[in-house]
Structure 1
Amino acid sequence: MTLTTPRPRQEVAALADQLLAGWLKGEGRDEPPPSTADLPAERLRLGERVLLDRDFGELREVPGGYLRRRLRTPAPHGTDQLTLTVASAGPEGPTWVRLEAEQLASGPGLRAGGRVPVPELARALLPLLDASDGPVRIGDAPRVVRPAGVEALIDELCDPDRTLPVVVASLPPATTPAVWLEGTGRQLTRQLTGLAALYLLDHEALPLFNVALEYHKVYGGAVRTYLPEVDPASRADGGRHPVLPRHRIDEDVRRAAALLAREPGRLAAELPLPAELAAVPVYQPPAEPAPQVRAASGVGAGTGAGPEGTGAAHRTADTAERQARADELQRVRHSLHRSRRRERLLLAVGEEQRTALRRANAQVQALSGRFCTARSADGSPVTFGELVGRFGEFPLLEFTGDQKEAVALDGQCDGTGWARLTWEGLTALQEYAAAAVRGEAHGDFKQWCEHTPDGCHRFPPRKAVRGESRTVESHTKWKRERMLPVPECVDSSRRAFMGAHLRIGGGRTAPRLHYLDDCSGSGRIYVGYIGLHLTNTRTN
């Protein structure tokens, strides 16, 4: 956690000492004595395997000073280490605060692993600091954004001085801010303390926010992490800011919280330190009292070559080596930060070129179809071969399935009618997706078919099925048939269950179109299968 506060560094250190003492007392440990200006560095033993290091001094190479606290406590298979560093360049400038929590493994074959939980000191200290990241205030809980605050939130997202992520949650339908904050919000953002600014859009602010950020929307109970350097005019930039869809949150809120904290945690570890914190010297513990050694024949007496002089030399060399490693780490962080900025620029340019190429390919396919394929009177395809080739005409639909399954339907007796009905279903899905992305669908595709708005293509509601039967979902082989391809941004396994489908033609064994509605996540609908009816209790 790296933040700034208007409070002086001595005041921040006093607050931290008070909170640490209270926590140690609550854990049954010895309370540390007050720090004094006479000891610039001291090590306190507050019980078995409990060490508190305290030091202060001047910054290296820049004017200013620092204070530091490092607490080590026993933990299963190792040691928990908490380091608080407070630095400022002068009385007028801001005070930088950095809090690091680490797990130090001990024993043969052991290593630190897994996520380090947010320390209680961070939760207790953050509300007292009036902390910020440049223009963005960092609190310990999401702040509700009303319509009047939308413009200020967008300014924070686009501010070039912002270095930490901003996490924006959309309020699920029929849910009040108070209920969401007390329930889902508390659990979902618990691991983000000090790592990101947190906001919750209320129902009135949500449409205003999404209209202003056409390519960076969030809605339907989803949560979006806005990384630094948001470009609201770039469609390609929208894919850089991850979305956590509502169904992932509802499935397992604890796992969703871990996923949500992953990117802010990575960013906090990789960001270069500000100049004041980078100028803090590495910690050098005070020398332990050396045993008395009798000099033989005067050798070593008063020459600095005895045990005390040798120990001091070793400590100086060790400190110099650790300082060199810390400086190298800072250089690596700067290099990584520059590389990631270049990578974002190249990815944005590449995405724009791919979008232009997809549009050109869609136009070529459409023109080729006009000359090479028989067309129906209303312009819909009469074969599945043509239908697959014209999929680019639906910008919010993506066909991830096997084209051979769809083209094989052209050999069936009613292939022409099936192709036209499939086209009608795809047209209706595209119009529904466009409305859902704008937050105007008011339900799923089944409800859209039941209450199709004027001017939109109608698809029979009885042919739009929300999901498979419980028998199909519980049958291992049948369920596996419906685990269909999706992009990695939707599911890391590149597979997702697609129970929702369209009935193509009459009869219980007629073809089916299976799809996944991810409008609240990636803003697209993925069609994973067009072909003969998949296996169920009525197929042979």
Structure 2
Amino acid sequence: MTVTTALPHADALALADQRLGAWLKQEGCEEPPLAVREPAPHEPTPRDPGAYDPAPHDPGTAAAPERLRLGGRVLLDRDGGPLRGGPVAGRYDRRRLRTPAPHGTHQLTLTIATGAGGPTWVWLEAETHTTGSGVRTPCRVPVPELARTLLPLLDAADGPAAVQLAPRVLTAADVEGLIDELCDPARRLPTVVASVPADRGLDDWVAEVVRPLCGQLPGLATAYVLDPGARTEFNVALEYHAVYGGAVRTYLPEVDPASRHDGARHPVLARRRIEEDLRRAAGLLAREPRRLAAEQPLPSPLAAVPVLRVPPQGPRTGTGPQDAAARAELAVLAHEEQQDRAEQQARADELERVRHSLRRERRHGAAQVRALTGRFCAVQGGAAAPVRPGRRPAGPTTSAPAAGGAPGSFTELMRRLGEFPLLTFTGDQKSALALDELQCSNTGWARLTWDGLTALQEYAEAAIRGEAGGDFKQWCERTPAGCHRFPPRKAVRGESRTVFSHTKWKRERMLPVPECVDASRRAFMGAHLRIGGGRTAPRLHYLDDCSGSGRIYVGYIGLHLTNTRTN
């Protein structure tokens, strides 16, 4: 479990120690004594040295490592100090608990780390070591009780999402926020979204199916249930990532809602498999979150935590000559422990390098696939080949319009579409040219359309590098410095459910695309830009296929297509 908390470091540590002690007492073990840190040289000594000091740790003060025996085979190791990089890097505190298991030892490690100026990270790792072999079997380890008790107290978060114990029911008004959450680049945990079958009531389905199904997810994923209204809104907005009929879908980080190719990345657990064996289905649902938790690189504060320092266990020594041999033995043990710790640190650092390397390779491979697919589409459709993905050059934006500035008419705009190398116009120019015949076209429609195309081009350049940080609407809400800004309220993700479910109106928005995008050479383009207001209200409809062919296809520029407000 890797989450953040808004609590200060010392408060989070105090909560963790309190809950850990309460759990040990409940299990019949001895409660550990309160942790005491040594004061910094400039800090006065507390009046009661045996009391836990809730004041924030001095980042330069290291808590002496200690090993406590709490009865039987229960061991608690505690350490803390500055992160690697020195006191300015931040501080960590750690608790490692070892308890006997039927076939070996359970190990629970809780680490709290706070980087300089950053949030407090909480990392909880549970594992089982079999007797004699030390083989890890993480898939068989249940969610620790400590995770269930800590999460509500920490107000744990994963980027923009609150990490809660139970699935949260969403209404139609919550769908926009859910989509923003799915696309947010800061999200690390998977998001599990459950639908409700038409023949079951919402409350019964949540209580009897969804909650037991998500019983192994606390701390590993966020979970939501779509009520009937939210399900329709969600599936209209995310045509290629839909979930319905009692199925449950796991959305991995970096969702691209406009890409049908990306939809295949996010596994679906069908209702039939859930109802066949609910317990087995719960295990299947937890498999992907567990894999992701094990393979993802750690946040930088947690990666900077040194390996555990355990004080060497040796014979007691006195001051007489007869104790010289014992002191020498203790020195050897201390040296060996230092060497072991150095080797463990090297292995931990290598593991992090491998995780980062695998992540880079996956992203690089995806970028190459997008580039090759884009070139194939360009050759197939007769369009210009897309720009090769790479680092954005310094200086002016690559998609800046020519020296002539924004066009004054749609006739000029259509002639200059070649200035946007990652945009392909697939529609009929007549609908766009007809806008020049309207008197109200003097209100700046052509200029606003040009602004929208410029923003789409810059977004596409970032998207094919994996640096867009979400879909186009989120790009408009958080436009990077130096890029052209398009009003977020004028960027719409998709049509309403009324339009989507109306056969004739939906057909109007089935617009041309190359065969490499869709074998039918048609695709629904619900995403659009609002170019004007009123009854005529021009629109620009497009398909974002940056994660597939590496391009954006503009299928329509013209007057508002038919809906409930048009004649």
Fold in common (TM above 0.5): yes
Preserved CA contact (<8 Å) 1:236 1:348: no
Q: Specify the SS of the correspondent of 1:107.
A: coil
Aligned position for 1:54: 78
Inter-CA distance 46–294: structure 2 relative to 1 (3 Å threshold): closer
Is 1:86 aligned to 2:112, yes or no? Answer: yes
How many aligned positions are there?
361
Query: Which residue of structure 2 aligns with residue 67 of structure 1?
Result: 93
Residue 339 (structure 2) aligns with: 317
2:34 counterpart letter in structure 1:
P
Does the Cα contact within 8 Å between 2:314 and 2:329 map onto a contact in 1?
Answer: no
Query: What letter corresponds to residue 278 of structure 1 in structure 2?
Result: A
Aligned to 1:27: 27
User: Does the 8 Å contact 2:183/2:256 carry over to 1?
Assistant: yes
1:209–1:110 CA distance, 2 compared to 1 (3 A): closer
Does 2:64 align with 1:40? yes
Flag the 1:145–1:354 CA change in 2: closer, same or farther, 3 A. Answer: farther
Q: For 2:358 and 2:298, how far apart are their aligned partners in 1?
A: 13
How big is the shift at 1:34?
0.8
Provide the C-alpha distance between the structure 2 equivalents of 1:347 and 1:115, rounded to a whole number of angstroms. Answer: 36
Secondary structure in structure 1 of the residue aligned to 2:228: coil
Q: TM-score, with normalisation over the residues of structure 2?
A: 0.59
What runs of 5+ residues in structure 2 fail to find an aligned partner? Answer: 39-62, 382-498, 505-567
Aligned to 1:334: 356
> Is 1:257 the equivalent of 2:299?
no
Letter in 2 for 1:69: R
1:219 is aligned to: 244
How much has 1:309 moved relative to structure 2?
2.0
Picking from 171, 190, 208, the partner of 1:165 is 190
Q: Is the 8 A contact 1:136 1:197 kept in 2?
A: yes
Distance apart, 1:290 and its partner CA = 3.1
Matched, 1:248 2:273: yes
Change (3 A) 1:217 1:112: closer
CA distance in 2, matches of 1:313, 1:289: 12
Q: Which has the larger radius of gyration?
A: 1
What displacement does 1:308 show? 2.5
What letter is aligned with 2:296? L
Alignment of 1:27-426 (within 5 A): 27-38=27-38, 40-61=64-85, 63-90=89-116, 92-107=117-132, 112=137, 114-292=139-317, 306-345=328-367
Contact 2:158 2:187 in 1 (8 A): yes
Cα distance in structure 2, aligned partners of 1:356 and 1:189? 45
Q: Does the CA-based 8 Å contact 1:236-1:352 persist in structure 2?
A: no
Q: Which secondary structure does the structure 2 equivalent of 1:102 belong to? A: strand
Alpha-carbon distance in 1 for matches of 2:375, 2:343 = 48
Q: Is the 8 A contact 1:32 1:46 kept in 2?
A: yes
Deviation at 1:287, TM superposition (A): 3.0
How many angstroms apart in 2 are the aligned matches of 1:45 and 1:93?
34
Give the TM-score, by structure 1 length.
0.62
1:17 aligns with 2:39: no
The code of the aligned residue for 2:24 comes to L
Deviations 1:62-87 (A, max 9, x none): 52111111110000110000000000
Q: Structure 1 residue 8 and structure 2 residue 8: aligned? A: yes
Alpha-carbon distance change, 236 to 18 in structure 1, aligned in 2, over 3 angstroms: same
Give 1:47 shift.
Answer: 1.1
SS for the counterpart of 2:307 is coil
CA displacement, residues 493-539 of structure 1 (integer Å, 9 cap, x when unaligned): xxxxxxxxxxxxxxxxxxxxxxxxxxxxxxxxxxxxxxxxxxxxxxx
Contact 1:207–1:439, Cα closer than 8 Å, also in 2:
no
For residues 278-300 of structure 1, what are the alpha-carbon distances to aligned partners after superposition, in whole Å with 9 as ceiling and x for unaligned? 1111111123353448998x9x9
For 2:361 and 2:320, the matched residues in 1 are separated by: 58
2:92/2:112 contact within 8 Å kept: yes
Worse-matched range after superposition: 68-77 or 23-32: 23-32
Percent identity among equivalent residues? 57
Tell me by how many angstroms 1:17 deviates. Answer: 1.5
Who is 2:459 aligned against?
none
Counterpart amino acid of residue 106 in structure 2: D
Aligned residues of 1:281 and 1:323 also touching (Cα < 8 A): yes
> Judging changes above 3 Å, is the alpha-carbon distance between structure 1 residues 354 and 206 closer, same or farther for their aligned structure 2 residues?
farther
Worse-superposed segment, 330-339 or 169-178: 169-178
Distance 2:307 2:198 in 1: 51
- Distance in 2 between residues matched to 1:106 and 1:135, nearest whole Å: 41
Most deviating of 207-216 and 333-342: 333-342
Give unpaired runs (5+ residues) of structure 1. Answer: 360-437, 441-452, 455-540
Corresponding residue for residue 449 of structure 1: none
Structure 1 residues 313, 273: closer, same or farther in 2, change over 3 A?
same
Instruction: Give the C-alpha shift of residue 311 in structure 1.
Output: 1.8
For residues 87 and 241 of structure 1, the distance between their equivalents in structure 2, rounded to whole angstroms, comes to 31
Contact 2:236 2:500 survives alignment (8 Å): no
Number of the residue aligned with 2:539: none
Q: Over residues 138-185 of structure 1, what are the superposed CA-to-partner deviations in whole Å (9 max), with x where a residue is unaligned?
A: 111111111111011011111122121111111121433322222111
